[in-house]
Chain A
Amino acid sequence: MSDKPRKFKGGVHPNDSKALSAHKAIEAAPLLESYKVIMHQNIGAPPELVVKKGDAVKKGSLLAKAGGFVSVPLHSPTSGVVKAIDKVPGPTGISVPCIEITADGEDEWESPFEPIADWKNTDPAELKQRVWDAGVVGMGGAGFPAHVKLSPPEGKTIDTLILNGAECEPYLTADHRLMLERADDVALGCAIIARILGLETGVIGVENNKPDAIAALRDAAVKHGVTVQALPVNYPQGAEKQLIYAITGREVPVGKLPMDVGCVVQNVASATAIVDAVVKGVPSIERVTTVTGKPLVDPGNWLFRIGTPISTALELAGGITEQPAKLLLGGPMMGIAQSSLNVTVMKNTSGVLLIAQDEVSQYTSEPCIRCGRCVECCPMSILPATISQAVENKRFDWAEKLNVMACIECGSCSYSCPSHRPLNQHFKRAKVEIQAGLRKKG
Chain B
Amino acid sequence: MITAIIAVGILGAVLGVVIGFVAKAFAVEVDERIEQVEELLPGANCGGCGYAGCADFAKGVVAQRATPDQCPVCSSEDVVAIADYLGISAEEKEKMVALVRCSGDIPNTVRSLYNGVRDCRSAVLVAGGAKGCDYGCLGFGSCAEACPFGAIEMRDGLAIVHKELCVGCENCVAACPKDLILMVPAAATTHVYCNSPEKGAAKRAVCKTACIACRKCVKASGEEDHMEIDGFLIRSNYENPPAAELVEAAACPTTALRVDTEHAKGAYQGASK
A and B bind: yes
Contact call B117/A425, Cβ cutoff below 8 A: yes
Total A-B residue contacts, Cβ distance less than 8 Å: 47
Shortest B107–chain A CB gap in Å is: 17
Whether a CB of chain A sits under 8 angstroms from the CB of B125 is yes
Contact call A93/B127, Cβ cutoff below 8 A: yes
Name the B residues within 8 Å of A87 (CB-CB). 198
Whether a CB of chain A sits under 8 angstroms from the CB of B111 is yes
Shortest B255–chain A CB gap in Å is: 24
CA distance A336 to B125 in the complex (A): 10
Residue tally, chain A, CB below 8 Å to B: 19
Given A94-B134, A95-B134 in contact, is the A363-B125 Cβ separation under 8 Å? no
Name the B residues within 8 Å of A339 (CB-CB). 111-112, 127, 132
Contact call A425/B115, Cβ cutoff below 8 A: no
- In the complex, which residues 415-440 of chain A have their Cβ closer than 8 Å to any Cβ of chain B? 422, 425-426, 428-429, 432-433
Shortest B45–chain A CB gap in Å is: 13
Whether a CB of chain A sits under 8 angstroms from the CB of B139 is no
Contact call A94/B128, Cβ cutoff below 8 A: yes
Contact call A338/B126, Cβ cutoff below 8 A: no
Contact call B125/A429, Cβ cutoff below 8 A: yes
Name the B residues within 8 Å of A93 (CB-CB). 126-129, 134
Shortest A289–chain B CB gap in Å is: 19
Contact call B125/A428, Cβ cutoff below 8 A: yes
Name the A residues within 8 Å of B113 (CB-CB). 362
Contact call A336/B126, Cβ cutoff below 8 A: yes
CA distance A428 to B112 in the complex (A): 21
Whether a CB of chain B sits under 8 angstroms from the CB of A158 is no
Residue tally, chain B, CB below 8 Å to A: 17
Contact call B111/A425, Cβ cutoff below 8 A: no
Whether a CB of chain A sits under 8 angstroms from the CB of B122 is yes
Q: When each residue 98-140 of chain B gets 1 if its CB lies under 8 Å from chain A and 0 otherwise, what string results?
A: 0000000000000111011101011001111100101000000
- In the complex, which residues 317-345 of chain A have their Cβ closer than 8 Å to any Cβ of chain B? 336-339
Which chain B residue lies CB-closest to A420?
A: B115
Contact call B122/A337, Cβ cutoff below 8 A: no
Whether a CB of chain B sits under 8 angstroms from the CB of A111 is no
Name the B residues within 8 Å of A122 (CB-CB). none
Contact call A92/B128, Cβ cutoff below 8 A: yes
Contact call B117/A422, Cβ cutoff below 8 A: yes
Q: Which of A92, A93, A338, A429 has the most CB of B within 10 A?
A: A93
Name the B residues within 8 Å of A433 (CB-CB). 121
Given A94-B134, A339-B111 in contact, is the A422-B125 Cβ separation under 8 Å? no
CA distance A122 to B118 in the complex (A): 56
Contact call A429/B122, Cβ cutoff below 8 A: yes
Contact call A363/B115, Cβ cutoff below 8 A: yes
- In the complex, which residues 166-210 of chain B have their Cβ closer than 8 Å to any Cβ of chain A? 198
Contact call A425/B122, Cβ cutoff below 8 A: yes
Q: Which of B122, B128, B198 has the most CB of A within 10 A?
A: B122
CA distance A429 to B122 in the complex (A): 6
Shortest B150–chain A CB gap in Å is: 19
Name the A residues within 8 Å of B115 (CB-CB). 362-363
Contact call A425/B116, Cβ cutoff below 8 A: yes
CA distance A438 to B182 in the complex (A): 20
Name the B residues within 8 Å of A432 (CB-CB). 121, 125
CA distance A428 to B115 in the complex (A): 16
Shortest B143–chain A CB gap in Å is: 14
Contact call A336/B134, Cβ cutoff below 8 A: no
- In the complex, which residues 82-106 of chain A have their Cβ closer than 8 Å to any Cβ of chain B? 87, 92-95
CA distance A428 to B129 in the complex (A): 14
Q: When each residue 132-155 of chain B gets 1 if its CB lies under 8 Å from chain A and 0 otherwise, what string results?
A: 101000000000000000000000
Contact call A426/B117, Cβ cutoff below 8 A: yes
Given A94-B134, A429-B122 in contact, is the A338-B117 Cβ separation under 8 Å? no
Name the A residues within 8 Å of B116 (CB-CB). 422, 425
Shortest B99–chain A CB gap in Å is: 23
Given A362-B113, A362-B115, A425-B116 in contact, is the A337-B121 Cβ separation under 8 Å? no
- In the complex, which residues 215-270 of chain B have their Cβ closer than 8 Å to any Cβ of chain A? none
Name the A residues within 8 Å of B122 (CB-CB). 422, 425-426, 428-429
Shortest B57–chain A CB gap in Å is: 16
Name the B residues within 8 Å of A362 (CB-CB). 113, 115
Which chain A residue lies CB-closest to B145?
A: A394
CA distance A202 to B122 in the complex (A): 40
Contact call A338/B134, Cβ cutoff below 8 A: no
Shortest B169–chain A CB gap in Å is: 15
What are 17 A-B pairs at a CB distance below 8 A?
A: A92-B125, A92-B127, A93-B126, A93-B127, A93-B128, A93-B129, A94-B134, A339-B112, A362-B113, A363-B115, A422-B117, A422-B122, A425-B116, A425-B125, A425-B126, A426-B117, A429-B125
Given contacts A92-B125, A432-B121, 6 further A-B contacts (CB under 8 A): A87-B198, A95-B134, A95-B198, A339-B127, A426-B122, A429-B119
Which 7 pairs from chain A and chain B are nearest by CB?
A93-B128, A93-B127, A339-B112, A429-B122, A94-B128, A422-B116, A428-B125
